[in-house]
Each structure stands twice: as structure tokens, then as C-alpha cells.
Amino acid sequence: MISDEVIFKGHPNVQSLHARTIEITKDKDLTLNGDCIIGINANKACKDLNSGIKHRIKKKDSLIEIELIVEPYNFIIKGFGSNKILLTNEEDIVLRKSNFICDRTLSINCNFSSFEIPRVIVDSLKDSSKTGIMLIKVE
């Protein structure tokens, strides 16, 4: 198993209401239009992930486990990679319940979307002083 982690910050406008996606971004601000965004000011986007994990994500049907950690809470999301995933976006990382792929897509066919993240985690991420970790593990 290979892993990488992305560190991000909370924001008062985190809503986590989207039915199909979860997103973190390097952007420094968040409007109420970003209802899938759970964190901003991330230290990495798709393009910045280590080459070993990118290689595994790009394998057809690779199993991806994404652990969201916002102390003292954590939540595990499972999804899949694909040989069609690009991992070239310089600003964002998106997890998708669907099989839609673009340059921001990290994982497809995930078992959870942003509105299914436990509210205790979402409420914690409404605090801009909170730090979150997206720990990405690939078989």
C-alpha cells in the first residue's frame, strides 16, 4: 500500500451539502456556491501528489481509501481509480460518486459524498483555525 496526505484548513462557509462530490482546494477563500468543498488552502492538488500514488490511482479499478481526519474525528471514504484519471489539476482534488472524470478527479465511484460526511466533522471544518488531513491510500 502507498499513501500521501493533503493538509487543508476549514472555513466558515463550509456546507458539505453536495450529493455527488467532495472537494478540497488550494483556494484561500470559499463562497456559499462551493457546497461540495470541505476545505481550503490545501497544500496539494491532484498534480502535486507523489508520483508513486498517482501511478497506482491511474490503474484500472485500483482501490482507493481516503481518510478524512479532523481531530478528534475521522471518516473513511472508499472509491476507485481508473486508467482514464488525469491528476493534472493544479488547484483542486475531487472525489466522485459517479464515474465522471476530469483533471480534478482523484477517485470515482466513491461510497460517500460531501452531504454524507458526519455533521460533527463538517461543523468542525466551519472553524477557520481547524486543520484537516486527507490521507490517501492505494492498494
pLDDT digits (tens, 9 = 90+) for 68-110: 999 999 999 999 999 999 999 999 999 999 999 999 999 999 9
For residue 138, give Cα distances in angstroms to 20, 37, 102: 21, 22, 19
Q: What are phi and psi of 136, to 5 degrees?
A: -105, 125
Calculate what percentage of the chain has a pLDDT beyond 70: 100
| Predicted pLDDT at 135 | 99
Q: How far apart are the first and last CA of the chain?
A: 5
State the pTM of this model: 0.97
Fold of 2-138: Jelly Rolls (2.60.120)
